[in-house]
Amino acid sequence: MDLNLKITVLGAGAIGSLWAVALKQQQHNVQVWTRSPDSEYSVNYQDLNGNTHPFLFTANSVNHLSQSDLLLVTVKSFQVEVALAPIIKQIPDSCLIVIMHNGIGSHEAVKTLFPNHCVFYATTSQAALKTDEKLQHTGNGQTFIGSLSSTQSGYNVISEVFNQALSPCYWQDDIMEPLWKKLAINCAINPLTAIHQCTNGELANEDYQAQLIQICNEVTLVMRAEGYKVKNGELYQQALTVINATADNYSSMNRDVFYQRQTEIDYITGYLIHRAKKFDIAVPVNTQLWQTITSMESSYHA
Ligand code: KPL
């Protein structure tokens, strides 16, 4: 496939910058939409082999946005609506929109914002770290992309564009399934690493196993009620795999708490609790974690 798309990446965090670089490397015409008014955005990109390459992007060009074929939204879950609202009128009707964030729960607002656009959701386990000095691609992982509305299913050209940029990327007819699987991993790892201010790898310690199993068992019940087939112990095993594969990393929620920023707890554990209520399923361990993170957040400015 030889497509040259005009692309806007909304959100210049680690994941947004990583995809911006990877899509630009495929000769797409990529700009980055940032929070600053600057007309250029530069990153020093370090690939998986440790080689560094400088990249310069156009930034915040309304002209580029109004001609974009694809808008990739990589801001945090709770920023999606706020980040899109001011630019919505500049997004052409033909522009495909891909939303990629941790957790679930922005889709109702997104559907209201874009009643006529093709909207896709994506989840990735590509790992990246962004500091003032560089953007580092720290780990390869899978990406899944799909539509929330069944009428758009099979529209997998978009997943091929992503697959060429950062492989593997798979089209998923039911994107909610990989979103739930990622949510399960985030329910297990993020709150515990934030509360105990530890690396992902430290959760492999025996002391955390009973709690990890309880968290995963509760998620299993809710996922089954949602209609997904989940084997006993499957989510716990997957969480352990990610804990070991990302042992030296600090989770995103760990960093958010460390820097006293808003966390994505309402879109991770909060979304689980919200769905559990609908099915009348008790999720006491996750509820306790949600309460602890929420009170940590409200103590920042106390
Ligand atoms: O997605 C992550 C996060 O930090 O938010 C995990 C999978 C836990 C990796 O750190």
pLDDT recorded at residue 3: 81
Q: Which atom of ligand 1 is nearest to the CA of 186?
A: 8
Task: Read off the pLDDT of residues 130-175 as tens digits, 9 standing for 90 and up.
Answer: 999 999 999 899 999 999 776 555 567 899 999 999 999 999 999 9
193 alpha carbon – ligand 1 mean position (Å):
10
- Provide the annotated active-site residues: 182
Using left for φ > 0, alpha for ψ between -120 and 50, and beta otherwise, residue 105 falls in left
pLDDT recorded at residue 152: 59
Residue 1 within any structural domain of the chain: no
CATH of the domain at 287: 1.10.1040.10
Kindly report whether the global pTM for this prediction surpasses the value 0.90.
yes
CATH of the domain at 129: 3.40.50.720
Phi, psi (deg, nearest 5) at residue 224: -65, -40
Q: How many domains does the chain have?
A: 2
Contact by Cβ (8 Å): 158, 209: no
Residue 302 within any structural domain of the chain: no
Taking the C-alpha atoms of residue 213 and residue 196, their distance in angstroms, rounded to an integer, is 17
117 and 190 part of one domain = no
> Which residue CA neighbors atom 6 of ligand 1 most closely?
251
Mutation choice for ligand 1 from 126, 242, 255, 258, CB with most ligand atoms inside 8 A? 242
Residue 301 within any structural domain of the chain: no
pLDDT recorded at residue 160: 94
43 alpha carbon – ligand 1 mean position (Å):
22
Residue 107 within any structural domain of the chain: yes
Q: Tell whether omega for the bond before 86 is within 30 degrees of 0, i.e. cis.
A: no
Q: Tell me the one-letter amino acid at 286.
A: N
pLDDT recorded at residue 27: 96
Domain boundary among 120, 148, 173: 173
Q: Can you give the residue range of the structural domain that contains 270? A: 177-295
Residue 268 within any structural domain of the chain: yes
Domain boundary among 118, 140, 173: 173
| ipTM metric | 0.97
19 and 165 part of one domain = yes
49 and 163 part of one domain = yes
Taking the C-alpha atoms of residue 41 and residue 274, their distance in angstroms, rounded to an integer, is 38
101 and 190 part of one domain = no
Q: Sign of dihedral through CA atoms 275, 179, 234, 292? A: negative
pLDDT recorded at residue 206: 98
Q: 241 burial class (0-12, 13-18, 19+ CB within 10 angstroms)?
A: exposed
Residue 58 forms beta bridges with which residues?
Answer: 31, 40
**Residues in CB range of 207: below 8 A, 6 or more apart:** none
Q: Which atom of ligand 1 is nearest to the CA of 249?
A: 10
Taking the C-alpha atoms of residue 14 and residue 21, their distance in angstroms, rounded to an integer, is 11
121 and 215 part of one domain = no
> Which residue CA neighbors atom 1 of ligand 1 most closely?
186
> Which residue CA neighbors atom 9 of ligand 1 most closely?
251
Residue 300 within any structural domain of the chain: no
Each residue's pLDDT tens digit in the chain (302 positions)?
668 999 999 999 999 999 999 999 999 999 999 999 999 999 999 999 999 999 999 999 999 999 999 999 999 999 999 999 999 999 999 999 999 999 999 999 999 999 989 999 999 999 999 999 999 999 899 999 999 776 555 567 899 999 999 999 999 999 999 999 999 999 999 999 999 999 999 999 999 999 999 999 999 999 999 999 999 999 999 999 999 999 999 999 999 999 999 999 999 999 999 999 999 999 999 999 999 999 999 999 77
Domain boundary among 148, 173, 198: 173
Ligand 1 site residues (CB inside 6 A) read: 102, 185-186, 189-190, 200, 242, 246, 249, 251-252
Q: Tell me the one-letter amino acid at 101.
A: H
133 and 259 part of one domain = no
Residue 200 within any structural domain of the chain: yes
Mutation choice for ligand 1 from 15, 101, 185, CB with most ligand atoms inside 8 A? 185
127 alpha carbon – ligand 1 mean position (Å):
8
159 and 29 part of one domain = yes
Q: What stretch of H or E contains 255?
A: helix 252-258
26 alpha carbon – ligand 1 mean position (Å):
27
Task: Read off the pLDDT of residues 245-264 as tens digits, 9 standing for 90 and up.
Answer: 999 999 999 999 999 999 99
199 alpha carbon – ligand 1 mean position (Å):
11
- The CA–CA distances, whole Å, from 46 to 22, 49, 129, 159, 209 equal 12, 8, 10, 24, 35
75 and 183 part of one domain = no
